[in-house]
Every structure is written in C-alpha cells, then in structure tokens.
Homo-oligomer: A and B are copies of this chain.
Amino acid sequence: MINPTKLDQRAMTDGVEPSVAARLACRHGHVGSTAGFAPGYVQGNLAILPEKLAGAFHRFCQLNPKPCPIIGMSEVGDPRIPALGLDLDIRTDIPRYRVWRDGEAVDEPTDIMDVWRDDLVAFVLGCSFSFEEALLADDISIRHIEENVRVPMYRTNIACAPSAPFAGPMVVSMRPMRPKDAIRAVQITSRFPSVHGAPVHLGLPLSIGIADLAKPDYGDAVSIADDEIPVFWACGVTPQSVIAAAKLPFAITHAPGMMLVTDLKNKQLAVL
C-alpha cells in the first residue's frame, strides 16, 4: 500500500497537484484505502449506472441531497469528468470497484475497462472525509479516527424520498461528541452542504430506529463516553444501499473506503 505522505512528496517533486499524483497512483496499481491521500482535496463516492436508470437515480439524488450530494457527473458513455480533474478517467482512477449484477456484488476489480459501456453515466457524490477535515481543523476530535477503525454506520427509519426503482432508508454515520462540540459541529458542517452538510439527528438514536449503537450495520463500533451524545450525519452508503436494494441488472460503485480523489479542494465547498 502506498504511504500518502510519500505520495505528496513525490507530487511536489514532480510538480503536479497532490490530487493528480493520488489519481495516478490509483491508476497505476495502488489498491487500498484513499484515507489520508491528498489532504485538502475532495474525495468522492462513485455510482455508475446505465443511461436508462441514470435519470431516475439523478432524481433520487436531487430529492435526497443530504445522503446523495452530487459533486460531479459524466456525460453518457464518457469516462471523463473534467470538472473534477482534467486527466481523470473514471474507469481506472479508483483503487477498487464493485460491480453489481441483479443486486449482487459480483466482482471487485481494480479497473473497469472490461465492463465499461457506451451507455454508462458516472455520478460522483460528496463524502464525509471533507467535513471531517473541517472538524479536525477546528480541534474537534473524531472518535473512529482516534480509535483507528471505520466510522460506525446505521440504517435508520428515515425513508429517503423515492424515485423508482430507487428507494429505501437513509443510512447515517455516527460520531460521538460532547454537546458543546456537537453544537460547533452543526455550525461547521452546515457550511458544507455538498458533503452531507449538517447532522440529520443527534442525541436520541431510538427516535431514528437505531436500537443499539454498539451494533452498527456497517463499519465498526466506537466508544461513547458518559458526557457525550451521538451525532448522526447522512451517509454516502445510502446510495450504494438503495442501488443494491433496487436489484439493478448492472451497476458499478467504488469499494468501501476506496474513493475518487478529485482536484476540488474541501475549502472550495464551503458556502459561507
């Protein structure tokens, strides 16, 4: 696995943006998490769908901007998304993909050259890495980073607005915080609507259908202190979950934690 710091040093030596260096690394063999790659740059979740389903999915995202904030999309059949990186090729620039057939993940290739088609549309969705950077910059600690595990994620009883065949519950990520930090986190993440924005809930997990915080549906449990409350953000696993539930004949996503590194900077996403 590539050491992110080394990658940044190499980018500086080669005179390219760290985000470009990160994409080149992914294109040429890096297989693993992109956490820590190109600090300051926006990373995105990926969803690729055939054109005949892309309209309904686009509408689903439009209806559910908190779990599904679109930061870029391709033209039909075009693997480029110049707004996110001039050199970007969505078929090769992600460390590992997930290929879905009839609702099942059937393959996890490191590129999708073989399965790319002229009718595919790629959607890149904002991810929590961006707002976590803003929280850390404000000295708010993030438990799963401290404990070096994946963020805990939960299916909720909050129904996404449907756009057939896409429907299902919102998935949320959880970060425990002292109430003072939770209030500050609302202020900070409200500035970043294109990467999930403000929390969707805090304090009362049962109200949103979460019976046991120690048993996340995805990711890993983290410790919660007595003076902390759970703070919940809409999560980018939501689109992957509704894509799976829709049992589409064909779709492609990224593999968890292996994101698209873009040339956008996190600070550019701040609306205030």
Instruction: Pick from B198, B207, B229: contact of A227, CB below 8 A.
Output: B207
Residues of B within 8 A of A199 (CB): 183
Instruction: Pick from B179, B201, B227, B272: contact of A179, CB below 8 A.
Output: B201
Question: Which 5 residue pairs spanning A and B have beta carbons closest together?
Answer: A186-B186, A203-B203, A203-B229, A179-B201, A207-B227
Question: Counting CB contacts under 8 A, is A190 at the interface?
Answer: yes
Q: Do B207 and A183 touch (CB < 8 A)?
A: no
Question: Counting CB contacts under 8 A, is A12 at the interface?
Answer: no
Question: Counting CB contacts under 8 A, is A204 at the interface?
Answer: yes
Q: Do B187 and A207 touch (CB < 8 A)?
A: no
Q: In chain A, residues 234-272, which have Cβ atoms closer than 8 Å to a Cβ of chain B?
A: 272
Which chain B residue shows the least CB distance to A158? B180
Q: Do B187 and A198 touch (CB < 8 A)?
A: yes
Minimum Cβ distance to chain B for residue A196 (Å): 13
What's the tally of chain A residues with a CB closer than 8 Å to chain B? 19
Instruction: Pick from B183, B204, B207: contact of A186, CB below 8 A.
Output: B183
Contact flags (1/0) for A157-187 with B, using CB distance below 8 Å?
A: 0000000000000000000001110110011
Which chain B residue shows the least CB distance to A198? B183
Residues of B within 8 A of A207 (CB): 178-179, 227
Question: Counting CB contacts under 8 A, is A63 at the interface?
Answer: no
Which chain B residue shows the least CB distance to A227? B207
Question: Counting CB contacts under 8 A, is A200 at the interface?
Answer: yes
Residues of B within 8 A of A180 (CB): 200-201
Question: Counting CB contacts under 8 A, is A202 at the interface?
Answer: yes
A198 CA to B182 CA in the complex, in Å? Answer: 11
A183 CA to B185 CA in the complex, in Å? Answer: 10
Residues of B within 8 A of A227 (CB): 204, 207
A55 CA to B175 CA in the complex, in Å? Answer: 43
A165 CA to B186 CA in the complex, in Å? Answer: 35
| 28 A-B residue pairings within 8 Å (CB atoms) | A178-B207, A179-B202, A179-B203, A179-B204, A179-B207, A180-B200, A180-B201, A182-B202, A182-B203, A183-B186, A183-B198, A183-B199, A183-B200, A183-B201, A186-B186, A186-B187, A187-B187, A187-B190, A187-B198, A190-B190, A202-B202, A202-B203, A202-B229, A203-B229, A204-B227, A204-B229, A207-B227, A272-B272
